[in-house]
Amino acid sequence: MPKILLVEDNEMNRDMLSRRLQKKGYTVVTAQDGERGYSLARCEAPDLILMDISLPAMDGWEVTRLLKANASTRHIPIIALTAHAMVSDREKAIGIGCDDYDTKPVDFVRLSEKIESLLVEKKVS
C-alpha cells in the first residue's frame, strides 16, 4: 500500500484527511509541524507527501525546499495544500519544486485523482 505523509498543523483537518485517506486504502503518517514532517519524510520514506504550507515555525515552503534539495528525498512527489487563494501561491508552489498544488478546503475527489496520478507516474519512472 502506498504510504502518504500528511503534514498538517490543524488537528481536525489532520484527523479528517488521514481517516479519509486510510479509508481509501493508503497508509498514512502524520506530522503536525514542519520539522517533524521533514524528519518523517526522511525516515519513513513515504511514496507521497501532502504538505500544508501554513505551518508554525518552519513552514511548508521551507520543508519542501529542504526535501527537494536532499538526494534521498528528492524523488518523493509533494502536493502543496494551501488556504491562501492568492494567485502567486500556485506559481510559487510549482516554482519551489512542488509536484502539484491544491487549495483548502480540499475537494477530496480532485485531491485523490492528483495523488493517484502522481503515484502512477512515480511507479513508472
Task: Tell me which stretch binds other proteins (CB under 8 A): 32-40, 42-50, 58-66, 83-91.
Answer: 83-91
Task: Tell me which stretch binds other proteins (CB under 8 A): 28-36, 39-47, 58-66, 93-101.
Answer: 93-101
Which residue, 24 or 42, has its beta carbon nearer to other proteins?
Answer: 24
Cell 536532499 belongs to which residue? 70
Residue 32, interface with other proteins (CB under 8 A)?
no
Q: For residues 43, 30, 105 and 76, what is the CA-based torsion angle, rounded to 10 degrees?
A: 10
Which residue, 27 or 54, has its beta carbon nearer to other proteins?
Answer: 54
Task: Tell me which stretch binds other proteins (CB under 8 A): 33-41, 42-50, 55-63, 117-125.
Answer: 117-125
Which residue, 19 or 39, has its beta carbon nearer to other proteins?
Answer: 19
# residues near other proteins by CB under 8 A: 36
Residue 86, interface with other proteins (CB under 8 A)?
yes
